């Protein structure tokens, strides 16, 4: 791949410029500030709501603050320093004077109101502005300034403003007409998946978004084939830009694997694209001028690198006038490390044999399994459900489906085929119970689970347990006889080939103490095992991931870990790694070395992020088919003590601060390939 974004390992800084930042911006200062970080990609504000260059277009608001160096000056200075520049655009709103000339471009609430946020009026994706005028702005921008890429802020259907106020789905004339033409009905009043009209609207959104993406993508690539485009995943081209951020009102707990998660799914689902997950400097939109902990920022960057992503930092304003510079040293440290070692990170592929499927539903179930995998040191990839049919599953022996209620027939068929050809499926909750439009199916879509009939999905399970009949495979439960259950439980009939494990204790009395005992144990399982073709499925008719993500009790973590190791036979990295250390393993595509990354997340304490405590005498074991010629810690810049015997490499890491990246060089590509099951093509 010869596009510019594949010829450099990028370190991006986004200076999200306020309009006043253009008053005295100095191109040479921009470059020297970026060089201090060793950044090699810059993203800054260019067009859309406000033109940060001189525009001739009557439908684009001219910034009145262009008294410093011009965007073209900045881009030229960056190019002279081998720094690429990406234009940040935002076509989701127009300034009030533009709206007054084109009131039909605006988003409208169900009652016909517009959203005017500080003089910016929300516009609709189906209106003439985004459909017709947006390409004209891009044309003028790229003919005026030599940008290398483009990012679209807040593209698609937006229902909230910057204060988080919810305004509902758009009811503008263009939406009404398009929806009526496609489906012959009026728009739904509200977002309610119980309403079949709303479920049709979801399809409407998918179709119109795909069409719009297609139009914009072709418009750009036809004219500027070297332009790196953000987030057009349908085309597997350009880069995926995401954020690891915080928000004041976001429900707890904090997601400490945010950067690993974002990077894993981008790399696992769209390996042709650059994964650029940014560490957002600020606390939330209302507090853009104060930074989160520097340790949170460096943890995010370490997670990005360990999972095959780029380094990316995003702040409000400019580097030279930012009022909270507390994150600079932490970000520089990681950026400088990456610059010194970037060659090692090129052309790598994950060696994970486990895939965790990701979808837009039941994020908590997904996150609970994500934690289980990380904290038990299973090497795993994440693949987004809507991309899973387009990537190879050949290296996976196990696929985890975490409560993915909504599933297409094609996806269900792919999962069943995977099991049929020898793979192991682990499936939880109501996965596949609904189709892609949220319509409840008569029977769950997955044949491999052994479900003959769903009797009931019961929500009032508080104070229920599961009791072991035997503890084979459950090594963590020597001193514990019960697993606690909360959230929905699926009562089902299974076919006769299905092995049912554990027994359900239905909700029981829990007060007063004299009454706290159960006297009923029923024949409904905690999990089932069903053979399917050459493989099998393990089905868990409840949601342990959700429970673990929210409550974090080891009772749930142990259940999930033993299910993986003791029942499914999933391999874990050996040694003495703490659950607070994330481990990843990747291999150079020519087989010449492997990279074992360790990220120490123990600085995540309650809801704060402190410097991680340095761990000592860390030992980690990974499979390796032959004696390596060298084992070197890239972070510590030291050869690491190691032993090799019987296909296992044992590495000793004397000191583990935030992270280590262990380069394991072998003389040729003779690394053990899994003898396990392989999915069908
Ligand atoms: Zn609309």
Q: What is the pLDDT of residues 412-422, one digit of tens each?
A: 999 999 999 99
Distance 186 CA to ligand 1 centre (A): 13
Helices (H), 434-518: none
Query: Tell me, what's the pLDDT at 668?
Result: 52
Q: What's the CA gap between 14 and 631, in Å, rounded?
A: 36
Helices (H), 317-429: 328-341, 363-375, 409-420
User: Cα 630 to chain center, whole Å?
Assistant: 33
Helix (H, G, I), strand (E, B) or coil at 527: strand
Q: What's the pLDDT tens digit per position in 611-644?
A: 999 999 999 999 999 999 999 999 999 999 999 9
* Confidence check: pLDDT of 671 > 70: no
Distance 61 CA to ligand 1 centre (A): 21
Band the pLDDT of 678: cuts 50, 70, 90: very low
Distance 178 CA to ligand 1 centre (A): 9
Distance 132 CA to ligand 1 centre (A): 14
Distance 104 CA to ligand 1 centre (A): 9
Query: Tell me, what's the pLDDT at 679?
Result: 37
* Confidence check: pLDDT of 680 > 50: no
Q: What's the pLDDT tens digit per position in 51-81?
A: 999 999 999 999 999 999 999 999 999 999 9
Q: What's the CA gap between 639 and 634, in Å, rounded?
A: 9
Query: Tell me, what's the pLDDT at 124?
Result: 96
- Asked whether the beta carbons of 526 and 504 are under 8 A apart, the reply is yes
Distance 621 CA to ligand 1 centre (A): 56
Kindly report the CA angle at 640 between 637 and 644, in degrees rounded to 5?
150
Distance 122 CA to ligand 1 centre (A): 10
Distance 171 CA to ligand 1 centre (A): 5
Q: Which of 529, 553, 415 is nearest to 473 (CA)?
A: 529
pTM of the model: 0.95
Distance 126 CA to ligand 1 centre (A): 5
Percentage of the chain with pLDDT > 90? 95
Distance 111 CA to ligand 1 centre (A): 13
* Confidence check: pLDDT of 670 > 70: no
Distance 52 CA to ligand 1 centre (A): 27
Helix (H, G, I), strand (E, B) or coil at 611: coil
Q: Which of 431, 442, 641 is nearest to 542 (CA)?
A: 431
Distance 362 CA to ligand 1 centre (A): 28
């Amino acid at each position: 791949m010869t596009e510019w974004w594949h010829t450099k390992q990028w370190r991006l800084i986004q200076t999200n410029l306020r309009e006043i930042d253009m008053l005295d911006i100095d191109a040479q200062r921009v470059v020297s500030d970026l060089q201090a970080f060793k950044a090699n990609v810059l993203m800054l504000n260019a067009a859309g709501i406000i033109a940060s260059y001189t525009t001739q277009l009557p439908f684009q608001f001219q910034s009145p603050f262009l008294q410093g160096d011009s965007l073209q000056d900045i881009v030229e200075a960056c190019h002279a320093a081998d720094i690429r520049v990406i234009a940040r655009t935002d076509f989701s709103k127009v300034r009030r004077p533009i709206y007054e000339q084109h009131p039909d471009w605006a988003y409208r609430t169900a009652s016909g109101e517009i959203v005017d946020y500080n003089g910016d009026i929300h516009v609709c994706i189906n209106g003439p502005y985004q459909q017709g005028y947006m390409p004209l702005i891009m044309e003028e921008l790229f003919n005026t300034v030599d940008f290398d890429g483009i990012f679209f802020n807040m593209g698609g259907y937006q229902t909230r403003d910057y204060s988080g106020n919810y305004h509902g789905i758009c009811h503008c004339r263009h939406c009404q007409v398009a929806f009526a033409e496609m489906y012959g009905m009026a728009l739904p009043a509200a977002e309610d998946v119980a309403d079949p009209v709303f479920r049709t609207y979801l399809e409407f959104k998918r179709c119109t978004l795909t069409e719009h993406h297609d139009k914009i993508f072709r418009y750009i690539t036809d004219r500027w084939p070297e332009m790196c485009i953000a987030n057009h995943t349908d085309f597997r081209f350009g880069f995926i830009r995401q954020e690891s951020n915080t928000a004041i009102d976001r429900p707890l707990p904090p997601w400490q694997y945010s950067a690993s998660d974002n990077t894993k799914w981008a790399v696992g689902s769209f390996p042709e694209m650059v994964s650029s997950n940014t560490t957002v400097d600020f606390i939330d939109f209302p507090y853009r001028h104060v930074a989160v902990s520097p340790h949170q920022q460096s943890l995010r960057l370490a997670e990005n690198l360990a999972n095959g992503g780029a380094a990316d930092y995003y702040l409000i304003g400019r580097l030279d006038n930012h009022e909270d510079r507390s994150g600079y040293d932490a970000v520089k440290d990681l950026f400088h490390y990456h610059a010194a070692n970037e060659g090692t990170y090129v052309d790598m592929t994950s060696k994970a044999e486990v895939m965790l499927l990701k979808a837009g539903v039941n994020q908590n179930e997904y996150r609970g399994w994500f934690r289980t995998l990380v904290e038990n040191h299973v090497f795993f990839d994440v693949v987004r459900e809507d991309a899973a049919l387009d990537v190879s599953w050949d290296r996976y022996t196990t696929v985890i489906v975490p409560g993915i209620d909504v599933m297409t027939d094609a996806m269900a068929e792919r999962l069943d085929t995977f099991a049929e050809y020898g793979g192991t499926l682990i499936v939880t909750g109501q996965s596949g119970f609904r189709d892609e439009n949220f319509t409840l199916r008569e029977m769950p879509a997955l044949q491999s689970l052994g479900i003959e009939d769903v009797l009931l999905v019961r929500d009032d399970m508080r104070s229920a347990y599961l009791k072991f009949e035997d503890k084979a495979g459950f090594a963590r439960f020597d001193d514990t006889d019960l697993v606690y259950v909360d959230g929905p439980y699926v009562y089902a009939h299974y076919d006769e080939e299905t092995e049912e494990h554990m027994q359900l204790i239905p909700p029981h009395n829990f007060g007063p103490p004299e009454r706290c005992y159960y006297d009923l144990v029923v024949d409904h399982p905690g999990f089932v095992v069903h053979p399917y073709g050459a493989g099998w499925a393990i089905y868990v008719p409840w949601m342990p991931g959700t429970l673990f993500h929210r409550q974090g009790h080891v009772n749930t973590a142990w259940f999930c870990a033993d299910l993986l190791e003791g029942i499914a036979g999933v391999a874990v990295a050996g040694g003495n790694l703490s659950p607070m250390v994330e481990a990843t393993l990747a291999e150079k595509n020519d087989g010449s070395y492997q990279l074992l990354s360790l990220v120490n997340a123990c600085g995540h304490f309650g809801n704060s992020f402190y410097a991680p405590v340095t761990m000592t005498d860390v030992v980690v074991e990974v499979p390796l088919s032959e004696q390596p010629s060298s084992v070197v810690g890239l972070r510590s810049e030291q050869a690491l003590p190691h032993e090799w015997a019987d296909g296992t490499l044992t590495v000793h890491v004397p000191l583990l601060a935030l992270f280590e990246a262990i380069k394991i060089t072998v003389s040729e590509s003779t690394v053990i390939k899994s003898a396990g099951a392989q999915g069908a093509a």
